[in-house]
Copies of this chain bind each other. A is one copy, B any other.
Amino acid sequence: MLDPVSWITENGQIFREFNAEIDSLNGKLRLIDQTLLPEKLVYVELDDTEAIFDAIKRLVVRGAPAIGCAAALGVAAVVRKSTLENASELLELVNNTADSLAESRPTAVNLFWALKRIKKSVAGMSDSAEIRTVLLQEGLGILEEDIAMCRAIGAHGAELLTEGMGILTHCNAGALATGDYGTALSPMYVAKENGINVKVFSDETRPLLQGSRLTAWELNKAGVDVTTICDDMAGQVMKEGKIDMVIVGADRIAANGDAANKIGTYGVAIMAKYHNIPFYVAAPYSTFDLSLKSGDEIPIEQRNADEVRKGCGKLTAPEEVNVYNPAFDVTPHGLIAGIITEKGIIRAPFEENIKKIVR
C-alpha cells in the first residue's frame, strides 16, 4: 500500500508507511481529502490520471512538497495499473501522464520538478518491468528526500524549543503539506518525540482557513497541545504573554532573506517584533531564490473575491462590495530572527549567511 502523503492515523499516532514492493499490495496513491477536513476524515485511493489531476487541482492534496510526492507516486500508480507490456508504449504513458499532471496547478515548482525527475528516471528504458520498478523507486526517493528534509528542519528547530513554550504559527506548513513532519510544524513534532511539550496557537488563516482546518487538526491528532484563534486575536495572545516564539513556513525566500508566505504572515511578524517575540521562518533551501535580490521582486498573487465572500459556507460580505484578496505577503528580513533550514538556522546578516549555506 502506498500511503506516503497521508501518514496520520485516526487514533492520533503518527507514522510513515510505504512499500517498495508495490505489486505485493494495493498499489494505489492514497491521500487524505483535505477539502473535507475538519468535518470528515476521508481517504481517496487513486490510480488513474484524471482522478489524480482532479485531486491536485481541487486541493484534495496541497502544499508544494506534498504535491510533488503525490504527482510522482501518482505516475507510478497509473503505470502499475496499465496492462501495457510494450516498453515504448509504457514510456509514452509515463510522459503523457506526467505532462497531464503538470497542468493541474500553475505555480507549483515542486510539481514540475518531481514530474520532470520521474520522466527522466525511466527515459530510454526498454524493459517494461524495469520501468515500473524504477518509477516506484524514483517516486519513493522523492518522498524519502522530503522526509529527510522535514526531519532535518525539525531537528534544528527543536533545539530552540523548551518545555511549556508557547508557539504561534500561521497557515499550514505541516504534515498535510509535505511527505512527513512539515516545515514550520516539524520542530514541534520533533520536540514531542524528545519528550518536550509545547503549546501551539494556530491562526485560523483567512480566507481559506488552513490554520484552523488543517494545522489545528493535524497537531491535535498527533497529541500536540493546540489552540485555534482568529487571525485578529494574535496581538492579544502575544500581549497576554502566551507566545514565546513564532514559526511559519515560506513559499519563496529572496537573497536578502525577505520571505514570502501566506497572507497575514507579515502582520504576525510586525506584532511579534512589537512584543519582542522571536519570529522564525522554516523552509528547505529549495525555497530560496537567489535570483531575487529582495522581497520587492516577489509578485503577490491576487485571488478570487468569492474566497472571501463565500469561503466559509454562507455569504459573509455583500456581493456588490469590492474585495481585495492578496494570497501572499512578504516579511522583510529585519523582522526575522532566523530561517530554519535542513542545513541549520540562518541568522543575520542574512545576505551573507544565506550565500554560505545555499548553493
- Interface residues of chain A, those whose CB is within 8 Å of chain B, are 38-39, 170, 201, 203-207, 209, 212-213, 216-217, 220, 225-237, 239, 263-264, 266-268, 270-271, 273-274, 300, 308-309, 311-326, 329
Contacts and interface: CB of A to CB of B under 8 A. Distances in A.
A333 to B, nearest CB: 15
Contacts of A270: 235, 270-271, 274
Contacts of A300: 236
Contact of A231 (B230, B311, B312): B230
A311 B212 CA distance: 13
Contacts of A213: 316-317
Nearest to A217: B318
Given A212-B308, A270-B274, A308-B212, A207 B230 contact: yes
A227 B324 CA distance: 7
The binding surface of chain A is classed by DSSP as mixed
Nearest to A219: B321
B232 A317 contact: no
Counting chain B CB atoms within 10 Å of each CB, which of A205, A228, A311, A318 scores highest?
A318
Contacts of A325: 229-230, 233
A225 B320 CA distance: 11
Return the 4 tightest CB-CB contacts between A and B, nearest first.
A232-B264, A313-B313, A312-B312, A235-B267
Given A271-B267, A324-B201, A316 B209 contact: yes
A238 to B, nearest CB: 9
Counting chain B CB atoms within 10 Å of each CB, which of A39, A231, A268, A326 scores highest?
A231
A254 to B, nearest CB: 15
Contacts of A239: 266, 329
A308 B216 CA distance: 13
B39 A317 contact: no
B324 A233 contact: yes
Given A270-B274, A308-B212, A316-B212, A231 B232 contact: yes
B212 A324 contact: no
B228 A322 contact: yes
A329 B311 CA distance: 26
Contacts of A203: 232
B206 A315 contact: no
Contacts of A329: 233, 235-236, 239
A263 B204 CA distance: 15
Contacts of A320: 220
Contact of A314 (B206, B237, B312): B312
A145 to B, nearest CB: 31
